[in-house]
Amino acid sequence: MWVLGIDTSCDDTGVGLVRDGRVVVNLVASQVALHEAFGGVVPELASREHLKVLRPLTERALGEAGIGPEDLGLIAATRGPGLIGALLVGYTFAKGLAWALGRPFYAIHHLEAHMAAAWPEDLAPPFLALVASGGHTHLFLVEDLGRYRLLGATRDDAAGEGFDKVARLLGLGFPGGPEIERLAQEAEEKAPFPVPLKGQEGLDFSFSGLKTQAIRLLEAGWPKAAIAKGFQEAAIAHLGEVVLKAVERTGLKTLLVAGGVAANRALQARFQEAGLRVFFPPKGLSQDNGAMVALAAWRRHQRGFPPSPLSLGATPYWPLEEA
Ligand code: ATP
Ligand code: FE
């Protein structure tokens, strides 16, 4: 069965086609250049760009798969969380298509979609899932598909946001994660960064202190590469410490790492060395995309979850525990 998945939660238009749980086409139209001059995503511009790009991108995806709209069995889109104007474009487009074709529609939670990208079909819960992206650093206990318990989250910046802000400070491009990762590899020395929230009782995350430290180190004349390396290592050490504490407390040794930051190779190495059974999204599926939305819908369909009513609206705020 063919599943179409659409994600327009932020500044990337994502259209993916999945056949029987396998990703066949995954197209992402990036808006990075559009927002660059403003130093951040301008919500209204993002919505308008989605509107312009979505239909031709969907037609291209169908063309690449060699199928027509009538071959689609299920249609899915991100319902939230995200920028409401941006969400509405993809969500409404997908609902309209489902209605016109008479196919079931699945409203998907953006974080469930990120997780679905890293979740092998034969991996049975329970397990831990870390979603580290531009807007989230959330650690969940996944009891089952659709049953999530939040164990900890960031108190301030998200991990990806931290990478983006430090990259900007160092005069690097956006998104900052890949830029920091590249620069860190060139470093001959490492600037000192304290690992955040050492000794805390809970399972929280915090990244804004690292950003402040980066400002101080830059003012003190540290080379940019040394700052990139020190920051990256402290951020990864922090993620590792909190996750390992959760492993100890829950006894669960299986971990999914999802979201854009999961693409970081130093982070992947850190978790692979930790003696856990760890899963990352394949290349191209860690950052926002449509295929992960289609994968989540396929899972829901397989597990007998009912489709979503077309009367259900998109929402900017939606805790995953309620999905
Ligand atoms: P959310 O999913 O929380 O709504 P988002 O969709 O904007 O946020 P994603 O597309 O999942 O976020 O991820 C983008 C983030 O991932 C950016 O902050 C980017 O810097 C970060 N990122 C991408 N590649 C890397 C990398 N190699 N190392 C570290 N961070 C990275
Ligand atoms: Fe995302």
Residue keyed to tokens 């960064």: 193
CA distance 196 to 241: 10
Q: Kindly indicate the confidence band of residue 167, based on its pLDDT and cuts at 50, 70 and 90.
A: very high
Of 230, 236, 295, the closest CA to residue 263 belongs to: 236
Domain spans in the chain, listed from the N-terminal domain onward: 2-115+285-322, 125-279
Element holding 102 (H helix, E strand): none
Q: Do the domains 125-279 and 2-115+285-322 match in fold?
A: yes
Which two tokens mark 8? Answer: 């327009």
Q: How far is the CA of 114 from the centre of ligand 2 (A)?
A: 7
Calculate mean pLDDT across residues 251-271: 98
Residue 39 has pLDDT above 90, yes or no: no
Q: Which atom of ligand 1 is nearest to the CA of 135?
A: 3
List all residues whose CB is within 6 A of at least one atom of ligand 1. 9-10, 82, 110, 114, 133-136, 160-161, 163-164, 175-178, 181, 259-261, 263-264, 287-288
What is the predicted pLDDT for the residue at 319?
97
Residue 65 has pLDDT above 90, yes or no: yes
What is the predicted pLDDT for the residue at 233?
98
- Candidates 3.40.50.920, 1.10.3470.10, 3.40.50.150, 3.30.420.40; CATH matching 125-279: 3.30.420.40
Q: How far is the CA of 233 from the centre of ligand 2 (A)?
A: 23
Q: Which atom of ligand 1 is nearest to the CA of 164?
A: 20
Top mutation candidate among 261, 264, 268, 320 for ligand 1, by most atoms within 8 Å of CB: 261
What pTM was computed for the model? 0.98
What is the predicted pLDDT for the residue at 166?
98
What is the predicted pLDDT for the residue at 61?
99
Burial status of residue 201 (CB atoms within 10 A of its CB: 0-12, 13-18, 19 or more): exposed
Q: Kindly indicate the confidence band of residue 35, based on its pLDDT and cuts at 50, 70 and 90.
A: very high
If you ran DSSP here, which 8-state letter would residue 162 be given? H
Q: Which atom of ligand 1 is nearest to the CA of 159?
A: 18
Calculate mean pLDDT across residues 94-103: 98
What is the predicted pLDDT for the residue at 37?
87
Residue 200 has pLDDT above 90, yes or no: yes
* CA dihedral sign, ordered 227, 155, 83, 77: positive
- Of the ligands numbered here, which is closest to the C-alpha atom of 162? 1
Q: Which CATH class is domain 2-115+285-322?
A: alpha beta
233 marked among binding-site residues: no
Residue 40 has pLDDT above 90, yes or no: no
